[in-house]
Amino acid sequence: MNLHDIKHFILDLDGTLWDTSEISARAYNQALRKDGRCGLIVTAATIRKEFGRPDQEIANDLFPSFDPSVRSELMHLCDISNTTTLKETNDPMLYPDVPSTLEALSHRSRFYMVSNCGTGYIEMFLEKYNLNSYITDTECCGNTGKGKAENICILMERNKIDSAVYVGDTAGDYNAAAKAGIPFIFASYGYGQVPESCLTIRRFSDLLALTQSGC
């Protein structure tokens, strides 16, 4: 794969562009304590393990003893608390050099985002860090009810993209890219591991070197 030939980069969010694990754990616990039905204590390690998956899968993991409808209710409360907390906090979460790397590459490449998050989460992130101008289009599970691979395909079809690469940090991201039929770049600084990948970046700014040298 020669990155000089790829003009479209589709980005994951959690674990790829920012690390919210400590703050998200706090937000989940606040929501659960306020609700009172579940005594689970969520940790940053829990968040790193679960984020990147669809909400229903996360809910099934976190709240297995509850009926499906209650799992969904608890997940919804956690999502609201998480989005609000992340929007309002001033704690550092963005990985180093994300804005500057997007700025440097935006002159020759277009960026998109596909995440398994709920509706409004990507928009909150982009507004918080003033990154809207670098992102051409987004899609998420909350909007479509579909998985990441399907949403990658939806976004590519909508934007008439023939060739793209997906940048993510988990095996789920790797599998989604493979299912969508596009190459994958593994962000090894993120939340997960992948069985294999053509390319690995150890910091987001490594994309600059890759696009200059190719692969």
State the residue for tokens 């985002």: 113
Compute the average pLDDT of residues 6-35: 97
So what's the pLDDT on residue 213?
Answer: 63
Compute the average pLDDT of residues 1-19: 88
Residue 157 to residue 7: CA distance in whole angstroms: 15
User: pLDDT (tens digit, 9 = 90+) per residue, 151-172?
Assistant: 999 999 999 999 999 999 999 9
Residue 148 to residue 114: CA distance in whole angstroms: 7
So what's the pLDDT on residue 165?
Answer: 97
Please state the domain extents for the chain.
3-18+94-213, 21-88
Residue 148 to residue 164: CA distance in whole angstroms: 15
Task: Name residue 186's beta-bridge partners.
Answer: 168, 200
Please say whether the beta carbons of 169 and 186 come within 8 A: yes
Q: Does the structure show a pLDDT above 70 at 75?
A: yes
What architecture is domain 3-18+94-213? 3-Layer(aba) Sandwich (3.40)
Please calculate the CA angle 208-160-6 and round it to the nearest 5 degrees: 25
So what's the pLDDT on residue 168?
Answer: 97
Q: Does the structure show a pLDDT above 90 at 214?
A: no
The pTM of this model reads: 0.94
So what's the pLDDT on residue 197?
Answer: 60
Collect all residues with Cβ–Cβ distance below 8 Å to 198 and sequence separation of at least 6: 1, 183, 184, 185, 215
